[in-house]
A = this chain, B = another copy of it.
Amino acid sequence: MEKSNCTCTENEISKICKDFHGTIEFIGKRWMGIIIYQLLKGPKRFHELVENIPGISDRLLTERLRDLEKEGLVSKKVLVPSQKKVEYELTPGGKELEAVITSILHWVKTRQK
């Protein structure tokens, strides 16, 4: 096994690297960032998301919301069963992404100057 200049083993490093990569590929999927950004403001209905995210299509929004549900980051509430009223909300785990989003917002702002 190779030497490393930190306290992690090679396996730990490659695991972190792999998890990091998987995670950033997931939250970096197209539209994902701005969907999370919108949901951080509070629960939103499907059409509210469409309206607040210029350019997104309902097909992709559906797909992304399913991805987020599968990862347990978003929960779907059916407001009135047997009616087309649903609401999407970040789970506690999803809300922990706030720091990621704000760090990107901060970077965006510093670049604009």
Contacts and interface: CB of A to CB of B under 8 A. Distances in A.
A94 to B, nearest CB: 10
Interface in A15-51: 16-21, 23-25, 27-30, 32-34, 37
A25 B33 contact: yes
Q: How large is the interface on A (under 10, 10 to 19, 20 to 34, 35 or more residues)?
A: 20 to 34
A23 B106 CA distance: 11
A24 B24 CA distance: 11
Interface string A71-113: 0000000000000000000000100110110011111101110
Contacts of A34: 17, 20-21, 24
A64 to B, nearest CB: 12
